[in-house]
Structure 1
Amino acid sequence: MRARIVLVALALSTFFFVTVETLPIGLLPQIAGGVHVSPSSVGLLVTAYGLVVVVATIPLTRLTHRWPRRRLLTALLLIAAGATALSAIAPSYPFLLAGRVVTALSQAVFWAVVTPAAAGLFPPRARGRAIAVLYAGSSAGPLIGVPAGTWLGQQLGWRAPFLALSVAGLVIAGIIVSLMPDIPPGEGHADRGSEPNRARYRTLVVATAVTVTGVFTAITVITPFLTDVSGISSSLIAGVLLIRGVAGMSGVVVAGFVPERHTWRALVALTALETVALALQGLWAAHAGAAVVAVAAGSFALSGIVTVNGTRVLQVAPAGTDMASAAVSTAFNVGITAGALIGSLMLSTALRGAPFVAAAFALGGVVTFLLEPRLAARSEPERVDA
């Protein structure tokens, strides 16, 4: 029961970080007016956040990888809660940006350690289900956290949801520091790859970056694509995004039942599904209902990929799983940044073709995964000290 409570707290912490990262998107006008800057400057609060995570994840994880996870996760949540409170009371844009940067620095380390920490609470046979519960929290961020935060900001002002999230971070930190076992670093079964292999791990990193680039190319333009190309009314977009969110949550649940021996096959199948869904989104663009089905299928596949990725990295990590997770997290954020850039460029020039470009990247991810057995055959399994 204690381990389950801690797992729920860790899932809530993923919800906390995802919501904090993306909340400004829903409150652009209110924040811009509150600190007297343009909406595009507020948009930089999200872009800069992602870039900080990309740059800081690996060096900060290397710096802190010998810390016991209970203390490290508690410290990261306390820092993030304090920085989010700073954002809430910021009198000007520079203070707001500073709070965002500090929060991003804590998140950079958080994503590297939270998956091994959650997996280490349970026996290896329950690893997949534990990771599914963990990532259900991150999937609930866009589905529940951002809409709820946006509504609260519209009712009480943009500072209110940031203050609420700060309090939530403090509560979660209290649960973790009180109940999480204080296991010395390197002594848990999830601290080392169970089937370490450099080639398989590198393939995972590359495939993640390529696939996520494609997915976020499409996600970046999803609203204008559905309204301008598929002809869906703006008033219905919230409902479509809700369907997409529910499909993503379903993907997390299904992926949690994938046995470790089938993680590679699952990643191939899910990435192929993502490729097909993106291509069909383009092919069915003129048919609103079919386009929504394709969007939902893509969301299901993406959430499944993220969840199975969490289990896969604990298998094939050639050294400590913290550093291995840090590199995969960096690859994911590189994909988000690159996809957002490509999508924004296509927004005004080739909106209709965005899903096809996204599908091409996702297909590259499928090919990369399919090359894994051949690459791994040339590389003996190995274990390398962190």
Structure 2
Amino acid sequence: MLMQHAGPATGEVAATRGDVRGYAWVVFALTVGLLLSDYMSRQVLNAVFPLLKDAWHLSDAQLGSLSSVVALMVGLLTFPLSVLADRWGRVKSIVLMAAMWSLATLGCAISTNFGELLLARAFVGIGEAAYGSVGIAVVLSIFPVRLRATLTGTFMAGGAFGSVLGMALGGAVAAHLGWRAAFGAMAVMGIVLVIVYRFVVTEKRLAPLQPAGAGRQAERPGVRMSLRALMKGLFSTRSVICAYVGSGLHLLVPAAVWAWLPSFLNRYYGMGTGKAAMCAAVFVLVTGVGMVVCGNVADRLAKHARQRKWTAAIVFCLACFVLLAIGFRMPAGPAQLVVIGLGMFFCAGASGPSGAMVANLTPPSIHASAFATLTLANNLLGLAPAAVLTGLVADRIGLLGALQLVPFAPLVAAVAFVIGRRGYAGDVDRLDALRDEAAR
């Protein structure tokens, strides 16, 4: 038997106090702040790739494995740890997870060889494993349903902005103080945020922000349901499966490009470690802005036609494929970087629509599990294999050749979204009918 998760409700949030809305935004800001720390700890590695390669004579495959092991741990552990987080308490779980990845990042700073660094990076992934699903479940539970794609896109964009800070600050620190100091700086920032979150956000203060039913459910240990019933809710329709698959595949692009762009700029543009990291951070920032904008555009388009979220996701994937396929085949120079930048704007644009699709296609009571499943798909299909596969291919045909193959992932994702769009309206109608029948 597994616990039924107390997830976001489908109705509007009922404000019971005058300061509810303000505190909701405080919670959102702090939760996104921890996501920034999450990705700062994860992506600082990419800024110091050239230094690690020279210091320990590592291959591209080994460098890629240091990045991919984090996403692998997240992919393997997100679902079971999300279930435990709902049982133990989401806020307490968030504090514990953030403390773990911060201390593991400190462990990276004191590693003396590749094996120790790989182990420390694995613990970074263990700490981060359930944060995405638990964090977004907390956020969506205290905001209106009409903001789902915008909030999901913005929350996930926090990963891009955290990557910007991790790569830019990490590169600057590494250039002056070495790669160990870069990891240490990220760890200190994470620990400070954990302390602030611990004293500001509590389950008791979150309860009034949630609809009455969700608040009561969140306060008790949990309603039991069978594994079969949970799986049926998570994979009840073809369209929700397509949303999981499309979301995971399209995120292979940002994961691969974020990991290898500093090395690309170092090898093909002759940039030093600090400059390459700063330049790569700009592209990551563009990705984050694109996630927010694309999520908002999807919400606006879907106001009067719910299937347009799927259409938006398809368009974003195709735009990414075309622009990056052209960009990585252009000669080195400013024009190439501009086209690559345009492709990066759209490369994670389907994140917001995908999250909204999953929320709309699963019962509110299992939204935490649904987002854990989405996180699992995102990591196993896109984030985990991206860096190491690119590194393996780069060892054989060169980094540029490997990056030229990456844009085909969103093309496959677009096919998944096309399939899912066909049955979306009918699937939502059937789920609404079942909810209405259960409410009677």
TM-score by length of 2: 0.72
Quote the residue 2:11 is aligned against.
Answer: none
Pair 1:373–1:190, CA change in 2 (3 A): farther
Quote the residue 2:326 is aligned against.
Answer: 280
Counterpart contact for 1:112–1:329, Cα < 8 Å: yes
Pair 1:198–1:178, CA change in 2 (3 A): farther
Counterpart selection for 1:343 from 364, 383, 390: 390
How big is the shift at 1:224? Answer: 6.8
Larger relative contact order, structure 1 or 2 (CA cutoff 8 Å, min sep 6) = 2
Q: Deviations over 1:232-283 (max 9, x none)?
A: 5546855752442342232133134232644322212211211221232255
Quote the residue 2:6 is aligned against.
Answer: none
Pair 1:68–1:31, CA change in 2 (3 A): same
Q: Deviations over 1:107-166 (max 9, x none)?
A: 111122111212223222333443344334321123222221232234334343333333
Quote the residue 2:171 is aligned against.
Answer: 150
2:146 matches 1:99: no
2:181 matches 1:187: no
Question: In 2, Cα distance between the equivalents of 1:344 and 1:92?
Answer: 20
Quote the residue 2:416 is aligned against.
Answer: 368
Amino acid of the residue matched to residue 125 of structure 1? R
2:24 matches 1:3: yes
Question: In 2, Cα distance between the equivalents of 1:46 and 1:207?
Answer: 22
Counterpart selection for 1:13 from 18, 21, 34: 34
TM-score by length of 1: 0.81
Counterpart contact for 1:111–1:329, Cα < 8 Å: yes
Quote the residue 2:314 is aligned against.
Answer: 268
Amino acid of the residue matched to residue 315 of structure 1? N
How big is the shift at 1:87? Answer: 3.5
Amino acid of the residue matched to residue 274 of structure 1? C
Counterparts in 2 of 1:143-222, with a 5 A limit?
143-182=164-203, 187=214, 198-213=237-252, 216=255, 222=261
Q: Which shifted more, 68-77 or 94-103?
A: 94-103
Question: In 2, Cα distance between the equivalents of 1:32 and 1:84?
Answer: 19
Instruction: Give me the identity figure in percent.
Output: 22
Pair 1:333–1:31, CA change in 2 (3 A): same
Question: In 1, Cα distance between the equivalents of 2:332 and 2:104?
Answer: 45
Aligned length: 379
Amino acid of the residue matched to residue 252 of structure 2? T
How big is the shift at 1:16? Answer: 0.8
Counterpart contact for 2:156–2:291, Cα < 8 Å: yes
Amino acid of the residue matched to residue 11 of structure 1? V
Amino acid of the residue matched to residue 310 of structure 2? W
Superposition RMSD in Å: 3.8
Question: In 1, Cα distance between the equivalents of 2:56 and 2:311?
Answer: 48
Counterparts in 2 of 1:71-110, with a 5 A limit?
71-90=92-111, 96-110=117-131
* Structure 1 alignment gaps of length 5 or more: none
Q: Which shifted more, 165-174 or 345-354?
A: 345-354
Q: Deviations over 1:66-125 (max 9, x none)?
A: 232212111211222333334444566655444332221121111221112122232223
* Structure 2 alignment gaps of length 5 or more: 1-21, 219-229
Question: In 1, Cα distance between the equivalents of 2:367 and 2:339?
Answer: 34
Counterpart selection for 2:294 from 251, 255, 264: 255
Amino acid of the residue matched to residue 331 of structure 2? A
